[in-house]
Each structure stands twice: as C-alpha cells, then as structure tokens.
Structure 1
Amino acid sequence: MSFVRTVLGDVRPEDLGVCDAHDHLFFASPQLPGQELRSVSAARAELAAFRAQGGSAVVQWTPYGLGRRAADLPPLSRETGVHLVAATGLHQSVHYDDGTLAGLRDRLADVFVHELTEGIGTSGIRAGLIKIAGGFHALDAHARWTMTAAAEAHHATGAPIAVHHELGTGVLDVLDLLCDELAVPAHRVILGHLNRNPDSVVHRQAAESGAYLAFDGPSRANHATDWRMPDAVRALADAGFGDRLLLGGDTTTAAARSVAGGPGMPYLLRRVRPRLEVALGEELVHRILTENPGHAFGVDWR
C-alpha cells in the first residue's frame, strides 16, 4: 500500500487533501543574501493563510544544506493542521561551498537513503522525496552526480525524485538520464517549473514518458509565462494527461511570502486555482490539487 511520508508520519494518499506540491517554508542560499526563509513565526503565518484558503498539505522541496529546519516542521504541522512533506536531495552547486560538496562526494546516495529512512540530522524527521536540479538547457557534472545518487536512493527506498529545471529547460535530458540510463520509473519523477518554458512539444513528450509535470510558482514579469500557463495545462489535459499534472507555489524568498506582501502560498488557491477553473473546470482542477499529489508522492516504501 502506498503512503505519503509526512513529518508527522505516513498518511494515505487520499488523506492528503488540497496540496501545494512544491513550496518552501524554510530556505537559505548564498545566492539569495538577505532573503532567507528562516522565521518560524512567518512560516506559521504563511501556513495559516494557506489553510484559510482551503489548503491542507505542502510539499517542501528544500534539500540538504539549505536551511530546512526539519525539527521545526512537526510543531508547525500540528499547530496549523497542514500536512508537511520534507525533502532530502541536493540543489545546484552554486548553492553550496566547496567544503560541503567535498564532504558529500563519496556518500551522497547514503545521505539520501538515511534521510528517507532514518531521519534528517538528529531530528528523526524522515524525508518524503528527493529533490535535485538540472542546469540551463543542459546537465553538468554536478547534476549527473546528484541524479545518479538520487536514482540509487530511489532504487533503495522507492522515494519519488523531484527535479528543479532552470527556467524550465533541460527536461528531456533529465528524463534521458534518470529514466533511460538510470532506470528510474518515469511515474516516480516529478518535473518542476514546466510553466517557465511553455514549450508545448516538450510538455507533451514529457507527459508521454509517464512523469509528473509541475506548474509551480508565479513568474516574474520579464518571464511572461503566467498567461500561457492555463493554455499549456489545458492542452495537456485535453490530450489525456490530466492525471500527470501538479500545481505549486515555490516561495523562495522572504519578500515573496504573503505575510510580507508577496503572493506566497495562498496565491496558489486564491488566484491560480480560479484562473485554471475557467480553463479546465472545477472538477479537474480539484483532482489536480488533491488526487494527483497523492499519487505522485505516495510510495510503497521499502
């Protein structure tokens, strides 16, 4: 039987409820100085605002070494009534110093497996997914290393693998590596940021592989992708891939939180959901927010 591994224990996929399939409560990177997501009180307020819009689950894609604050997640989940899923994994190399990467060089897959089965650090909180990242239109040596380790950890545990795609690019290269070379079943792969590169041909090819496609996070004005997203999602649904789609918010900076005046987690349900309901209908959007995340993150854990 499949279960979604939350910070309070495993839950049935059908009990996940309305899910933000890609977001961050805590995140700290040298690439975003001064915009760290570190405040527990702000995270609590953000979850409460998401809950007030009808949300009941958030999958946090913050991986190893980027300020996950795993020990703070269970009390936040209890206090707000929102299921939380934590991640293991590793982001692009620019987010880490050389010493951190050198220390993981020969044990990365073991770290992933430990955090999925035993717990993150000394917290005892088990991760529910592996988050990794590709590059801009290509996969460098770091991406290949992390994806190889993620595949090994998947084969040991069954855990899903969620992939950050830089501006939505490199999707087919990721599938070639993970699924063709490393034998990860496509239905265990979640392709992030497909909204950032609205290429309908690539979207269709990715969906045909059996992977999940995540449309996650409002774009900046110069990306000009938000208005294309409903049509892209509708095209995939019309082609029979409505069960492959996920939605998320991807809040990565303090200024982007709703409690700081940004869109934040509530934006997914306050603005994105009704806009998609116009294009797809309420029933399909509800299934994308509830059933699909349960299937994508639900695992028969080994």
Structure 2
Amino acid sequence: MNRPAAPTLRTVTGELSPRSVRGPVLAHEHLVLDLDHRGDGAAVLDPRRHFPAVSAELASLRQEFGLSLVIELTCRGMGRDIGTLARIAEEAQIAVVAATGWYYEPFHTPEIDGDDVDGLAGTLVREIEDGIGTTGIRPGVLGEIGSHGDVPTAPEAKVLRAAARAARATGLSVATHAQLGRGGLAQLELLTGEGLSAHRVSIGHQDLLDEPEVHRELAASGAYVAFDTVGKSSYRSDRTRLRLLLALLEAGHADRVLLSCDISRHGYLLDEGGQGYGHLFRNFLPQLRAAGADDDLVDLLTRRNPLRFLTGEEH
C-alpha cells in the first residue's frame, strides 16, 4: 500500500521539505510592503531602497540563530513584489513563503466590490495554482486576511469566506490580521463556517489583546494563536506579551502558539535604529527562557508549530 506523499512547503525559490527546516521560522513578517496611505512614506519597505538592509538582516539571523524560513504575509493591495521576495531569499539564503489574499478593508482592491465570494475564491485559487502574475511563483499561504473591529465588515467577511474556500480547494492554510487583536473569534467562526478546519487557521496579533480567555478559546478550538508583533512597544510592551504568552502556555496550549515580529515599516529595520527581525531571538526569547522555557519548548514555538500550521499536520 502506497503511503500518501509527505507535505511540502511552497517557497518563492521552489518546493521545500519541512524536514529540511532545521532552524527557527518567523511566522509573520513583511520583506516588501507598501501601506502608505498617508503619503509620509513610513509604512513602506521599498524593493529598491530597503532591499539591502532586509537581506543583510536575514542573512545575519541565519548565521547567528539558524533562521531557516520566513512566512511573508504581504498580499494583494499591500505592495507585494514577488520578484524581490525571490531575490531576498536567494541573497540571504533563507526560504521565504509568499502569500495571497486581501488585507483589511481600507486596503481592499476594486475586485472585492465587483465580485462575489466564489469569484474571489477563484481569483485566489488561480494564483495559488498558476503563480503570481507571470512569474510562475506560487504562494504557500493565504494571508494576511484582514478585518478590524469585533465583527468583520461585509466586504471583510466576503474576503474571509473566499479565503476559506480557496484554502479548502488548494490545501493551504490561512493567516489573519485581527486589527489590534480584536475580532479573532468572529474571524474563526466565518472561516470554519465555510468548512475550513480550525488547525488550518492562525489568528493574528493576539499579543495586542489583553484577554487571556479569548486566547484560550481560540487555542482550544484548534486554531493557532499568533503572538506576532513582538517588539512593537508602541502598541504593547513585551512584558505584557510575555505575561499573556505564559498564561497560554500554562493553560496547556504550547502547541497552538506562533511567534514573530511583523516588521511593517522601514523604521523598524536595524539599519534605521529599529528592533529588526531579530528582536524575537535577541530579546524576547531570552526573557521566555528566564521564565522557565527550555530548548524543546522554544523549538516547538519557533519551528515545529509554524511548520505544522503551513502543512496542516496536526501532530
């Protein structure tokens, strides 16, 4: 009897066996980005200006901490540049998983108003199966699918439902953007209501929500709980993040946690005096270790969990 094929990761430089990922994974980052609605150029990672700094940071983290893979969640309407992602991956020698989907409503593109759920799902499926633009590079995750507030708006709900249908059709997982951590339970209800299993979902930015009971409910459902804005002190202190994370770990949900920094503007880069992509490794994980985490737990949080999220393996 033939065994089913082992799951593979779709990266911007080709398919990759999860078993070859020996070092940590950043579960929610941006390497190229344009969210500049104000015109001040702050919420930008420009493929020309910031490419050298981004590549250098990732290469340094590979050498110092063994960083092996980045889940890059810049999607449609967010300034995605798949060619630059491939260049960064090659130069830094880091595997990069690219995304498709739509962000939250202020960044929606015109087709969202003009198409229904099935039509939007079809757009995503075509990109997943045929590649982004003419590059032939296929996304390996749906994200960051966005909403804001405690309940998604009608257009956001349509996008969440379309993402769930595309995920079911293609076998990919869905990572969400829950603005300031709010609305995660409503997002999960919409996604699972379309038949998507909870373990194929990561609810984003939960470290910005000081409601441990919500984190427990999400984790108990089987969804991943993303503490993915580590180091963004203007939103939430790492001290509070650590308290919330420890509470979730103590409740028995270590296998449902994802960690990352969500670098989403050039001012966060080390080159510009920011905390950089490595803040998780240099600052936050040492605090977690000081609180009692051992090597196996850190490996679970930073490597095994994100790989299971991407592949859909439950154990």
The bucket for the TM-score relative to the shorter chain is over 0.9
Give the direction of change, closer, same or farther, for the CA distance of 1:299–1:210 in structure 2 (3 Å limit). closer
Residue 267 of structure 2 contacts residue 274 of structure 2 at CA under 8 Å; is this kept in 1? yes
- Distance in 1 (CA, whole Å) between partners of 2:112 and 2:283 is 39
Q: 2:60 aligns with which of 49, 58, 61?
A: 49
- Distance in 2 (CA, whole Å) between partners of 1:197 and 1:96 is 24
| Number of corresponding residues | 298
RMSD, aligned α-carbons: 1.9
Q: 1:78 aligns with which of 77, 81, 90?
A: 90
> For 2:33, what is the secondary structure of its paired residue?
coil
- Distance in 1 (CA, whole Å) between partners of 2:288 and 2:277 is 16
Residue 202 of structure 2 contacts residue 224 of structure 2 at CA under 8 Å; is this kept in 1? yes
Identity of aligned residues (%): 34
Q: 2:20 aligns with which of 8, 15, 21?
A: 15
Long gaps (5+) in structure 2: 1-5
Q: Report matched runs for 1:60-71 at 5 Å.
A: 60-71=72-83
1:255 Cα deviation from its structure 2 partner: 0.8
- Distance in 1 (CA, whole Å) between partners of 2:223 and 2:124 is 21
- Distance in 2 (CA, whole Å) between partners of 1:118 and 1:52 is 34
**1:156 corresponds to:** 169
User: Comparing 226-235 with 119-128, which one deviates more in the overlay?
Assistant: 226-235
Give the direction of change, closer, same or farther, for the CA distance of 1:229–1:119 in structure 2 (3 Å limit). same
**1:5 corresponds to:** 10
- Distance in 2 (CA, whole Å) between partners of 1:186 and 1:193 is 17
- Distance in 2 (CA, whole Å) between partners of 1:220 and 1:297 is 25
Query: What are the Cα deviations for residues 207-264 of structure 1, in whole angstroms up to 9, with x where unaligned?
Result: 0000111101136545334212222222222222111111011001011111211012
Give the direction of change, closer, same or farther, for the CA distance of 1:143–1:102 in structure 2 (3 Å limit). closer
1:299 Cα deviation from its structure 2 partner: 4.7
TM-score (norm 1): 0.92
Structure 1: 4+ residue segments shifted above 6 A: none
User: Comparing 162-171 with 13-22, which one deviates more in the overlay?
Assistant: 13-22
- Distance in 1 (CA, whole Å) between partners of 2:56 and 2:152 is 37
1:289 Cα deviation from its structure 2 partner: 0.7
> For 1:65, what is the secondary structure of its paired residue?
coil
Q: 1:37 aligns with which of 42, 45, 51?
A: 45
**1:109 corresponds to:** 121
**2:198 corresponds to:** 186
Residue 176 of structure 2 contacts residue 202 of structure 2 at CA under 8 Å; is this kept in 1? yes
Give the direction of change, closer, same or farther, for the CA distance of 1:41–1:153 in structure 2 (3 Å limit). same
User: Comparing 184-193 with 238-247, which one deviates more in the overlay?
Assistant: 238-247
TM-score (norm 2): 0.89
Residue 226 of structure 2 contacts residue 258 of structure 2 at CA under 8 Å; is this kept in 1? yes
User: Comparing 221-230 with 53-62, which one deviates more in the overlay?
Assistant: 221-230
- Distance in 1 (CA, whole Å) between partners of 2:115 and 2:59 is 36
Q: Which one-letter code corresponds to 1:3 in the other structure?
A: T
- Distance in 2 (CA, whole Å) between partners of 1:14 and 1:271 is 27
Structure of greater relative contact order (alpha carbons < 8 Å, 6+ residues apart): 1
